[in-house]
Amino acid sequence: MLSVARVDVFADRPFAGNPAAVVLDADGLDGAEMQSIAREMRAAGTAFVSRPSSPATQFRLRKFTPTREVAYSGHTTLGAVRALADAGRIEGHRIVFETTQGRLPVGLEPAPDGALALWLEPPLPACRSFEEPLGDILGALGLDATRVGHWALPAVTPDTDLLIPVSSLAALHGLVPDAARLAAIGTARGLRAFCLVSIETVDPGSTSHCRFFAPQFGIPEDIVTGSVHSSLGVWLFEAGRLAASDSTRPDVDAVRFTAEQGDVLGRPGRIAVELRVEGGTPTGVRVGGQATVVFKGTLRLTLRLP
């Protein structure tokens, strides 16, 4: 019997943001069993939490899409933190996971309204310019070349997500990609996903709006993608699209903004992104938001004995 939870991440209410499944006490499950459970959960990300091997971390965390294990998934990680907090298993305001990529810290901050803000603290990413032709990619996305934005240059994140600027929110919302064709291109070019970004937004106070397609990972379109927004923040800053503002933490200079995703899918999500800046250069990044536990239950597994 395994404890499972469904958590809506980057949302302050149920049935918004990006749903993640979380399996607590996953010790003893092997990779194949985890993959089968993730396929059954049908969420973009399923987190498996177990005991760590290092005393420097509190829990071990593995993350799966419906088709494969992934090294990093922001919304899945935050879903795990929210489920652990709901189960009373977190002490203090910081937790460190043991992952396949090393240690992954997450901060917890009580908000003035009593809500709990969760902050991912990934390493500062560096984007590289994408110099290859875009023609076949734009064709698979259904995006006319005249609708590519000129406010930034296409770039690739450390997670091999291709960032493409789009000229307007209408052009972004009007995309109807060919998933099979896009998956083939992503596989051939070594790209994890395609993230298209508009600086025209739904809410006046937001800075960016994006859509994220990863069909070769079993995700035709992700609802809200935490992992890409650390790189997206650096990309926007380097393109001159972010202005310095007062930080909620007075001990650092920071640029903070709200990013949007998921509206076109009927599950609006809002992500807080904060860049620490020194001498006009980003030195750190946090990506955060709220999360809501929608339901909890148990999963019964029948094990086949040899």
What is the reported pTM? 0.86
Alpha carbon distance 33, 301 (integer Å): 10
Please tell me which residue, 219 or 164, carries the higher pLDDT value: 164
Q: Where are the domains of the chain?
A: 2-115+291-299, 128-289
Question: How does strand 269-278 pair with strand 254-261?
Answer: antiparallel
Q: What is the DSSP string of 120-168?
A: E-PPPP--EE--S--HHHHHHHT--GGGB-SSS--EE-TT-EEEEEBS-
Q: Looking at residue 219, what is its pLDDT?
A: 85
Rounded to an integer, the average pLDDT of 5-14 is 95
Picking from 193-197, 237-241, 242-246, 283-287, which range would have the lowest pLDDT averaged per residue? 242-246
Q: Looking at residue 246, what is its pLDDT?
A: 46
Joined together, the tokens standing for residue 255 give 């640029």
Q: Each residue of 36-94: pLDDT tens digit? A: 999 999 998 999 999 999 899 999 999 999 889 998 888 999 999 999 999 999 988 99
Q: Looking at residue 247, what is its pLDDT?
A: 47
Of 3.20.20.70, 2.60.40.420, 3.10.310.10, 1.20.1260.10, the CATH number of 2-115+291-299 is 3.10.310.10
Q: Looking at residue 252, what is its pLDDT?
A: 56
Phi, psi of 238, deg, nearest 5: -70, -25
Q: Looking at residue 72, what is its pLDDT?
A: 87
Residues of 205-233 as b/e, b for ≥16 C-beta within 10 angstroms? ebbbbbbbbbbbbbbebbbbbbbbbbbbb
**Angle between helix 226-238 and helix 74-86 axes, rounded to 10 deg:** 130
Amino acid of residue 140: A
Question: Hey, do 2-115+291-299 and 128-289 end up sharing a CATH topology, with the first three levels equal?
Answer: yes
Q: Each residue of 81-121: pLDDT tens digit? A: 999 999 999 988 999 999 998 899 999 998 767 788 999 98
Q: Looking at residue 245, what is its pLDDT?
A: 54
Q: Looking at residue 114, what is its pLDDT?
A: 72
Q: Each residue of 228-255: pLDDT tens digit? A: 999 999 999 999 999 765 445 555 588 9
Q: Is residue 178 over pLDDT 60?
A: yes
Alpha carbon distance 84, 293 (integer Å): 10
Q: Looking at residue 306, what is its pLDDT?
A: 46
Rounded to an integer, the average pLDDT of 254-266 is 95
Of 3.10.310.10, 3.40.50.150, 3.40.50.1240, 3.40.50.970, the CATH number of 128-289 is 3.10.310.10
Q: Each residue of 120-169: pLDDT tens digit? A: 988 899 999 999 999 999 999 999 999 999 999 999 999 999 999 999 99
